Structure 1
């Protein structure tokens, strides 16, 4: 398996399969897996493994090594003048690894040292500063790289400087004015959602950031692709609940009146699903426990769907 090329489909499938098995392996077997696939020489493998499912005795070591290797690969990519397709494949592996280890905010604080985190943010800043949108949108592979870059930046959004946050939003704004793959637009929605957790401190960039957020949110909410649209609406809803900058929400609604109705419809749909999900088991429990069977009979007589609903619930 080590001889498989990095971009091999078999290579990817094997790593995905083992990744799903890792949580069920004993600590000893996980250690053997680490010996069989050392992080330094099998970096591709660990980009797929959920490191937080590893046993505590090897978790910290793997996370630390992945951070070191991932940051080093990002730095190598950043310093390279002429970039090939393989360079972008390597970049994607590095980004996926770093996304993997930064998915848990608690774990980031627990396992990532301050120097490692600082190095990661520095190299991210360098990458964003070097991005020319027209070049990165020229191929599917590079657009995927941009998507991963956004997802990693989203995981660390509360640690970004205002200057870098403004740069990222400027890139997003430029992307949304051109055609791009759905994966990239989904990543944009994810990043914008995470921005709701950030309080933009007073600075030269503050007003520009707050103006850029509606510029980015409105187009992605209006996306014609259903998955992107729904993800963006969910992202905006979460952003609106969490952000201390309510003016951004107001500005989005003022720029596009459809935004408010879209969000209301989304919330109504979500609430309806939650209500139905909660009522079915409660109705079943009531029917089982009540000494007043007449009430159950009346419910069924008034609405024949009630009986079928309970039957369907029981069959599940």
Structure 2
């Protein structure tokens, strides 16, 4: 029954069998069978199932509330064994935005895995704002304005970044080069839409003047998930794109894209790795924290 209880927690936290199977590398059918067995043994329904969602019943919510700290304690107890190993072992799950998976982690992951060969790293790229614990992850990466409460945050990656605006030179030859952010209102701009449905707003700053623009254009893509399509469209002359400078930098350096309004490009603080501060830190996460710390001191 213990394994079935664990599978129930996975499904309830993930909000569905398919997502739970993806996060835990177990088939959705096996998870479904486990929950059915558990419900039959307990004699009560634990999950409301529909074609669109899986939600705990009242009984399921109460069981989940009791099981979550219990399983966390079991995991922490087993993690004590790692102290007797020559090097930490286990699985580390990180929930990160697509931008971090593209721009931050490639410089870290290969070296980290080489340094800790007994650690298995799972990366979930997700631009929505999620509860990392409920999502079954050990830690997440987000920017400071989106950090969850009661979390410990550690800097990771570049500490300052910029949003760049650019377009293909031949597009600008035909449409003109903007001299002020408001000039973008007369251009074809490639826009992004968040998972919430909100459109991205383009923000600029120069000498204390802040300008926010809501441009229009022929292409709208899902922010994060379809960003490469937006970049390809900009390279093909579809319109103007606004994106992380590091994402566009290879194309700017090659000349396939031309910088637009560079004196107005806004700077912002780089991302943070964050994790719950209310429980023991698993050995794989401790190893990752030690690996990325910048100044020799990581909050604990």
Q: Structure 1 length normalisation: TM-score? A: 0.26
Instruction: Kindly indicate which of the two structures has a greater share of residues assigned to helix.
Output: 1
Structure with larger RCO (C-alpha < 8 A, sep 6+): 2
Instruction: Kindly indicate which of the two structures has a greater share of residues assigned to strand.
Output: 2
Higher Rg: 1
